[in-house]
Amino acid sequence: MKVLVVGNGGREHAICWKLKQSPLVEKVYCAPGNAGISAVAELVNIQVSDLGALADFAEKNKIELTVAGPEAPLCDGIVDVFRKRNLRIFGPAKAAAELEGSKEFAKSFMQKYSIPTADAESFTEQNPALDYIRRQFGSGAKGIVVKADGLAAGKGVTVALKEEEALQAVRECFSGAFGSAGAKVLIEECLFGEEASILALTDGETIIPLASSQDHKRLMDNDEGPNTGGMGAYSPAPVVTESLMAEIKRSVLDNFLRGIKEEKLCFRGVIYAGIMVTEKGPKVLEFNVRFGDPETQAVLMRLKSDLADVMVKTSDAMLDKVNLEWYDDPAICVVMASGGYPANYEKGFEIKGLADAESTGAVVFHAGTSLKDGKIVNTGGRVLGVTAKGKDISEAIKNAYRAVEKISWKKTFYRKDIAFRAFERLK
């Protein structure tokens, strides 16, 4: 069958790479893709926002499975557009994608279906929000989290340990800094603990967790510096023990599924629960309605099962027929970024050493690259996700960094400590 992947990041490269290995798949297309993706898929020059053109392409080329990588087309209703035209697609319908598109919707869904999460209040006016924050700190809160409601491309969340910082974040939201995503503000209790990413497949009837993983959101080693889209990931996350996973399945995933059914939401795709493992058990920080980036790069490297078969069965509401198999070896993904990211950075530098890096056995997933005069150049903030497995976490770390060290361009930047928490747990 022919498949179409929508998106142009490292996550989409990993999805294309894994689909390409399926004996069921004769051809992979990716719209719009990037330089690295062109090695495993034919690139289609259609932007992710052009839902009509994507559906036309799928129809004309007899695409039997479409997978939308990023949240934007899902929140725009790509699944509804495709299904109306009888085109098979993996992902939630627009109404269900609101679980990521609106933090307020997600919070009330969690509260209604007893999914453990931080206490929160939402505000549409600045002064009551400021007063609320002052009262919280006045009664001993150790921190407050301010979230602009709506998609703010991973920004729009401030974890404030000081009152003034929280007040400032609220003022910023109401100043219009996040566009329409700032008209409503969610103010949350600050949770403390270790984070983990739990992704699960669901077709609305069955829910199957994928291998656990952990992202590294901060820019610099030791989790310092500003939040980013993710500087690296690894799977499995040892913080998610078997018993914790069972608790997450019961308190988060099963309740999620009950909510989807009761609300009659169409969800045939992947749900991503960002979890904080607190002293009082796992709590959901956020839902995403798509694969995580860069978690997917590490997770899919460990998947033994045929992804095309799994995605077709999920899209056709036959997930009960799926039995996922995994490689035991851990995997880690180190993100190589452009110097200056997440602020301004320069683009267009030639990337050298890609073939050498892959000759070590690592896989280099491209996130922000393009071809210029026959050369691969950086075009994004996060540029590559160098991913490798090993028989244990320390070997996986060694393998990934050995490949990273072979790659360079002007002003390369990457964290040197990806998977440090897993490594420390071994000691």
- Residue numbers at the binding site for ligand AMP (CB under 6 A): 118, 145, 147, 157, 159, 188-191, 195, 217, 274, 285-286
- Take residue 308 and report the two structure tokens written for it: 């095309």
- Cβ neighbour number for residue 298 with a 10 Å cutoff: 35
Task: Give yes or no for a cis peptide into 209 (omega within 30° of 0).
Answer: no
Binding residue for ligand GLY (CB under 6 A) from 98, 203, 293, 306?
Answer: 293
Pick one of ligand AMP, ligand GLY, none as the site partner of residue 330 (Cβ within 5 to 8 A by kind). none
Q: Which is nearer to ligand GLY, 34 or 213 (CB)?
A: 213
Residue closest to 6 by CA, chosen among 26, 36, 20, 37: 37
User: In the bound complex, what is the minimum distance in angstroms from residue 230's beta carbon to ligand GLY?
Assistant: 4
User: In the bound complex, what is the minimum distance in angstroms from residue 45's beta carbon to ligand GLY?
Assistant: 25
- Take residue 270 and report the two structure tokens written for it: 């992947």
Pick one of ligand GLY, ligand AMP, none as the site partner of residue 293 (Cβ within 5 to 8 A by kind). ligand GLY
User: In the bound complex, what is the minimum distance in angstroms from residue 152's beta carbon to ligand AMP?
Assistant: 8
Q: Is 292 in the site for ligand GLY (CB under 6 A)?
A: yes
Q: Which is nearer to ligand GLY, 149 or 295 (CB)?
A: 295
CA distance 362 to 270: 26
Task: Write out the binding residues for ligand GLY, residues 216-245 only, by CB under 6 A.
Answer: 230
Q: For 150-217, list the strands marked E by DSSP.
A: 157-160, 185-189, 194-202, 207-209, 214-215
- Take residue 391 and report the two structure tokens written for it: 């028989």
CA distance 373 to 148: 41
Pick one of ligand GLY, ligand AMP, none as the site partner of residue 306 (Cβ within 5 to 8 A by kind). none
Give the position of tokens 């992704």.
199
Near ligand GLY by CB under 6 A, which window of 88-96, 288-296, 308-316, 359-367? Answer: 288-296
CB within 8 Å of 133: residues ≥ 6 apart: 144, 146, 163, 166, 167, 170, 187
Instruction: List phi, psi (to 5°) of 202.
Output: -145, 150
Binding residue for ligand GLY (CB under 6 A) from 149, 203, 295, 306?
Answer: 295
CA distance 201 to 268: 8
User: Between the CA atoms of 235, 236, 239 and 244, what dihedral angle is there, to the nearest 10 degrees?
Assistant: 130
CA distance 300 to 298: 6
Q: Is 195 in the site for ligand GLY (CB under 6 A)?
A: no
Report how far Cα 292 is from the mean position of its chain's Cα atoms.
2
User: In the bound complex, what is the minimum distance in angstroms from residue 332's beta carbon to ligand AMP?
Assistant: 19
Instruction: List phi, psi (to 5°) of 172.
Output: -65, -45
User: In the bound complex, what is the minimum distance in angstroms from residue 381's beta carbon to ligand AMP?
Assistant: 17
Q: Which is nearer to ligand GLY, 130 or 386 (CB)?
A: 386
Pick one of ligand GLY, ligand AMP, none as the site partner of residue 292 (Cβ within 5 to 8 A by kind). ligand GLY
Q: Is 215 in the site for ligand GLY (CB under 6 A)?
A: yes
Pick one of ligand AMP, ligand GLY, none as the site partner of residue 91 (Cβ within 5 to 8 A by kind). none
Q: Which is nearer to ligand AMP, 91 or 116 (CB)?
A: 116
Binding residue for ligand GLY (CB under 6 A) from 38, 66, 228, 288?
Answer: 288
Measured CA to CA in angstroms, residue 132 lies from 102, 123, 126 at distances of 21, 10, 10
User: In the bound complex, what is the minimum distance in angstroms from residue 345's beta carbon to ligand AMP?
Assistant: 22
Q: Which residues bind ligand GLY (CB under 6 A)?
A: 215, 230, 288, 292-293, 295
